[in-house]
Chain A
């Protein structure tokens, strides 16, 4: 049966973004909101809002049973989980399945397959997709042996971690035993899974990811790549497509590898396969797959003209992949800045509060995805993303110029924001040249101590 009413199990800009597409498709929306978000912009945009619990997300947005009950109680046909929160929680997909609610995303099995780093690595190897040299280690003794084989520098990663959490860099092999013990203890406490694995550390790498769509029956298309190398402590800040300066053969190989990986899983829905591209050798390695819509999806939408949320809903409806998607043209370049309520002059400390005044930029090629208006609250309970400013242009220089103007034209008062960081990053000659590695932000901040105090946490 066609989806006619969707429960949105999320908040913030992505909730507003999903509602926008639902309206265009004439699908009703029910927003599942915590007490802190009752009067948010998405709540006003949705056809109906139900309050699912108190502000703390463990009592509201992270409650699988409550979310499914809210869908059943409001007679919603489907749940869109957005990103973060329960979007990659297999338990939600599974409960939806058993209750006859359509989960707009992959199957529970697929979420599990890509959520476990070791299983994902094995799947990548099985799909003939290169992985960073590394291995799971059961003990400190095994870690020392493996460490010698792989060679320093090394990364110690938590099997259950993600987004950079639980990672340790080991420059010298003699520091490895202590790092493994600490990482394992931390991973056990943070993720309930103390397993760790070792990986060769690529000292100068670019983060390049490929957007894919799968019909769940083995057919997969890609919609090009995104370069997300501008990261601070593994948190992406600026994303763009296409990845600047990639050789055509490398670009093609990335697209093919991502498609192969997702096809092997018979992946269903929108997903992203992340790679690390070694800047020195041009070799690329599978990092992980994100089984959801991503924060940075709008840059792909800008150059393809495709509404990815609409495609997610179409796939969930069982309509499959549209034939046109296989040969979609990508036009021009698009760059996105994440505007966060955090203070770059104060070690990027979160800056919750009430936005007294805000004027978002407009203009040719400019798109702003946001849930923030004058008077909007940035609660301290959730992530600090306030808006994404996306600029599209016929080439990278044009997109970059439009984005710089848009960032400069943004007026925001009441909370601190990272707009000064974006202005500096976009104006930086290294970024302007294109193709920076993931060390770019650290170098930028070191050269501009005024933007980040010496006290690193």
Chain B
């Protein structure tokens, strides 16, 4: 399987026209990850502001790409904590983080409306997400009173322990 420059350009076009801000593609040993540059996307209304796009392709199994023969490790990878945006220093803002590693869901079941959206007013006990570990569903609660300002998780994807799921502007 090979991917030509034209294919990559086509994928970029599709991404730009879509509501997503990141594409991770894996085909037979080829890994392609694309991300929109610039500000984090807040909700589904994407596409307008971001024009720059960074594309990096790595042929993981290409023997011509040595994957670090050096004995000493490189400095920390910026991508090592991907999906982990720096928590806001604003004291009126609080991130709800995942209490465990698992698959996160924004809704109680497929097709159902999400627990919360941007703008939803929550209390400490409001359920905001589910994190599944081997068929075991763990509910995540807001833990704070306020208004949801950002959804940081992607439905159905792996979240790590401590990874921010959404951001809440604290009330009063």
Contact = CB atoms under 8 A, between A and B. Distances in A.
Interface residues of B, number: 30
Contacts, number: 70
27 contacts: A23-B69, A26-B60, A35-B161, A41-B73, A44-B74, A44-B77, A45-B68, A47-B67, A51-B101, A51-B160, A51-B163, A52-B101, A53-B101, A54-B161, A60-B161, A65-B133, A66-B102, A66-B133, A69-B101, A69-B103, A69-B158, A70-B101, A70-B158, A73-B101, A74-B158, A75-B26, A95-B134
Interface string A439-455: 00000000000000000
A23 B68 contact: yes
Interface string B97-141: 000111100000000000000000000000000001110100000
Interface string B74-105: 11110011000000000000000000111100
Contact of B61 (A26, A38, A53, A95): A26
Contact of B67 (A4, A23, A43): A23
A53 B132 CA distance: 14
Interface string B139-168: 000000000000000000110111100000
Contacts of B68: 23, 45
A373 B101 contact: no
A48 interface: yes
A107 interface: no
Nearest to B99: A53
B72 interface: yes
Contacts of B19: none
A50 B162 CA distance: 10
A229 interface: no
Interface in A136-174: none
A51 B161 contact: yes
Nearest to A73: B158
Contacts of B172: none
Contacts of A49: 80
A39 interface: yes
Given A44-B74, A44-B76, A65-B134, A26 B158 contact: no
Contacts of B132: 69
A339 B73 CA distance: 21
Interface residues of A, number: 31
Contacts of B160: 50-52
B44 interface: no
A28 interface: yes
Nearest to A26: B61
A164 to B, nearest CB: 33
Contacts of B77: 44
A85 B26 CA distance: 31
Contacts of A52: 101, 160-161
Contacts of A47: 67
Contacts of B157: 73
Nearest to B69: A23
Given A49-B80, A51-B101, A66-B100, A44 B133 contact: no
Nearest to A29: B67
B75 A69 contact: no
Given A39-B76, A44-B73, A4 B101 contact: no
Contact of B136 (A50, A53, A65, A70): A65
A70 B68 CA distance: 24
B60 A28 contact: yes
B17 interface: no
A69 B67 CA distance: 26
Contacts of A45: 68, 73
A270 interface: no
A111 interface: no
A52 B157 CA distance: 15
B156 to A, nearest CB: 10
A43 B60 CA distance: 19
A403 to B, nearest CB: 20
Interface in A95-146: 95, 99
**A-B pairs, 3 with minimum CB distance:** A73-B158, A44-B73, A65-B134
A68 interface: yes
A38 B163 CA distance: 12
Given A51-B163, A52-B161, A69-B158, 9 more contacts: A23-B68, A35-B162, A38-B81, A41-B73, A45-B68, A65-B134, A70-B101, A73-B101, A373-B72
A26 B66 CA distance: 9
Nearest to B76: A44
